[in-house]
């Protein structure tokens, strides 16, 4: 359906695939937002996604970038963010994963990802995933002391018709130190859970596995229900909650 040149994803005016916000941040924390953008380069003709779905949760983590930027400012921490929709390439998946090029997200079809040939897949890896991966690696290399790696995500209140009551999920891979320390410092009245609404078995911890585990970095994947960060007040509330939880958790870990 697309006239895409398989060897060209980003056009000359599309800018880089990833960026660093607050690169001079001094906190020993590296924030990451893999699903920060709904942008689909014009060369991909919106991947055939229906207009009413272009800015849905299928394309990005709604509220995720606003929350990540606010945390970056509050904590004074660098933030590595993708500038390309996860429908083009999900930077929290390895290129070998089917979900890296989703043909369908919940009930939303992505026609432009159906039957991709090897050249089309390779172009997306080269132009979207590899720059993101390299930028994150370079940012981590630039810390004078090993930082904690914290990824910021949001999730929908309803999935396949089923309501999700959890408000905050703290996910971990093989290293649960930071996730559990944050849970111990959660505020009263907040429905926070470990490994909810996803877990490692859903294949969502690629960034942690790729960049934190091999370096021995403390790490956590944060998931906030997106209706709770849909406006400035919600973002401010969770910025305060998460920055407090994270700061206290890291202080606890340093004391051990």
Mind listing the pLDDT tens digit for each residue in 188-211?
999 999 999 998 988 999 999 999
CB neighbours of residue 221 within 10 Å: 29
SS3 189: coil
| Angle in degrees, CA 71, 74, 75, rounded to 5 | 80
**Pairwise CA distance, residues 104 & 48, whole Å:** 12
User: For the ranges 35-49, 59-73, 151-165, which has the lowest average pLDDT?
Assistant: 151-165
* Alpha carbon distance 69, 80 (integer Å): 10
Task: Say how far residue 162 (Cα) sits from the centre of its chain.
Answer: 23
Predicted local confidence at residue 3, as pLDDT? 38
Strand-strand pairing, 168-171 and 108-109: unpaired
DSSP assignment letter at 144: S
Residue 256 has pLDDT above 90, yes or no: no
Per-residue pLDDT at 223 = 98
How far apart CA 217 and CA 93 sit, in angstroms, is: 19
Residue 27 has pLDDT above 90, yes or no: yes
Q: Is the pLDDT of residue 166 over 50?
A: yes
Asked if the model's pLDDT at residue 50 lies above 50, the reply is yes
Q: For residue 1, is pLDDT > 80? A: no
């Amino acid at each position: 359906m697309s006239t895409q040149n398989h060897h060209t994803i980003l056009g000359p005016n599309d800018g880089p695939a990833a960026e660093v916000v607050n690169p001079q941040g001094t906190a020993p924390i590296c924030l990451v937002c893999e699903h920060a953008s709904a942008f689909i380069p014009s060369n991909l003709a919106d991947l055939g996604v229906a207009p009413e779905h272009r800015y849905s949760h299928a394309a990005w983590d709604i509220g995720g970038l606003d929350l990540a930027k606010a945390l970056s400012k509050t904590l004074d921490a660098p933030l590595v963010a993708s500038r390309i929709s996860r429908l083009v390439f999900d930077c929290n998946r390895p290129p070998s994963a089917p979900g890296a090029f989703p043909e369908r997200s919940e009930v939303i079809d992505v026609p432009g990802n159906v039957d991709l040939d090897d050249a089309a897949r390779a172009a997306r890896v080269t132009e979207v995933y590899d720059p993101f991966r390299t930028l994150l690696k370079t940012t981590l290399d630039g810390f004078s002391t090993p930082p904690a790696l914290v990824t910021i995500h949001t999730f929908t209140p309803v999935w396949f018709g089923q309501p999700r009551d959890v408000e905050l999920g703290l996910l971990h891979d093989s290293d649960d130190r930071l996730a559990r320390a944050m849970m111990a410092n959660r505020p009263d009245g907040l429905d926070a859970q470990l490994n909810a609404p996803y877990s490692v078995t859903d294949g969502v911890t690629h960034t942690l596995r790729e960049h934190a585990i091999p370096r021995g970095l403390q790490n956590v994947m944060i998931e906030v229900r997106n209706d709770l960060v849909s406006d400035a007040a919600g973002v401010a509330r969770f910025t305060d909650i998460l920055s407090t939880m994270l700061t206290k958790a890291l202080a606890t870990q340093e004391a051990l």
